[in-house]
């Protein structure tokens, strides 16, 4: 069945594997399934609710638009139509960055929650600050994803010269 060992934290190891074309079809498929699982859970968390406020609706649409625009940006950073192996790079790097963001992003989220309670924010202000925090994390996520995809694409180009 081939190599099925996945990277969970070491982005440099994964980038070396991508540059050396050491990612098997099975690994690529598993990364795809993991990203689909992440998107499913995210979709469940963002499901419409009758009590949604304007900030909830804004966040839902920002998340959808940000995912679309972030993915297009990553595609362009991979070389656009002339790039190679975008999906393999995208899904594998997306997985590792998600793990990192869940662990590293936990601290700012806890600080935000504590701060909201400590300064007794109104519900609407609290929701808008939550929206801004998560939208910012999404922007940084796709910026880093695009950076790593471009790094792999550039390294691969230099290796072929």
The ranges assigned to domains in the chain are 11-160
Q: What share of the chain is helix, strand, coil (3-state, %, to 5)?
A: 80, 0, 20
Give the mean pLDDT of 125-137.
84
pLDDT of residue 152 exceeding 90: yes
Which pair of tokens denotes residue 147? 């950076």
pLDDT of residue 44 exceeding 80: no
Greatest mean pLDDT among 8-12, 47-51, 83-87, 102-106 lies in 83-87
Residue 108's contacts (CB-CB under 8 Å, 6 or more residues apart) are 133, 137
* Percent of the chain whose predicted confidence (pLDDT) is above 70: 92
Mean pLDDT of the chain: 82
Greatest mean pLDDT among 26-35, 53-62, 69-78 lies in 69-78
Which pair of tokens denotes residue 58? 């804004």
Note the pLDDT of residue 97.
93
pLDDT one-digit tens code per residue, 94-121: 999 999 988 887 887 788 777 777 777 7
Find where tokens 């992440």 sit: 38
* In contact, 115 and 43? CB cutoff 8 Å: no
| Entry pTM | 0.76
* In contact, 115 and 39? CB cutoff 8 Å: no
Note the pLDDT of residue 1.
44
Residue among 53, 59, 25 at smallest CA distance from 130: 59
Residue among 60, 42, 41, 44 at smallest CA distance from 52: 60
DSSP string over 7-30: -SS-HHHHHHHHHTT---HHHHHH
The confidence band for 48, taking pLDDT boundaries of 50, 70 and 90, is confident
Q: Is 54 exposed, middle or buried (0-12, 13-18, 19+ CB in 10 A)?
A: exposed
Length of the chain counted residue by residue = 161
């Amino acid at each position: 069945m081939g190599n099925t060992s996945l990277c969970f934290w070491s982005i440099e190891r994964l980038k070396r594997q991508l540059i050396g074309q050491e990612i098997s079809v099975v690994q690529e498929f598993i990364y795809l399934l993991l990203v689909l699982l992440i998107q499913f859970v995210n979709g469940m968390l963002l499901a419409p609710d009758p009590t949604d406020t304007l900030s909830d609706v804004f966040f839902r649409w920002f998340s959808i638009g940000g995912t679309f625009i972030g993915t297009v940006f990553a595609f362009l950073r991979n070389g656009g139509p002339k790039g190679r192996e975008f999906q393999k790079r995208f899904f594998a790097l997306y997985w590792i960055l998600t793990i990192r963001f869940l662990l590293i992003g936990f601290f700012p989220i806890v600080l935000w929650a504590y701060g909201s309670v400590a300064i007794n924010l109104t519900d609407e202000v609290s929701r808008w600050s939550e929206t801004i925090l998560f939208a910012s994390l999404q922007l940084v996520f796709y910026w880093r994803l695009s950076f790593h995809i471009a790094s792999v694409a550039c390294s691969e180009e230099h290796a072929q010269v």
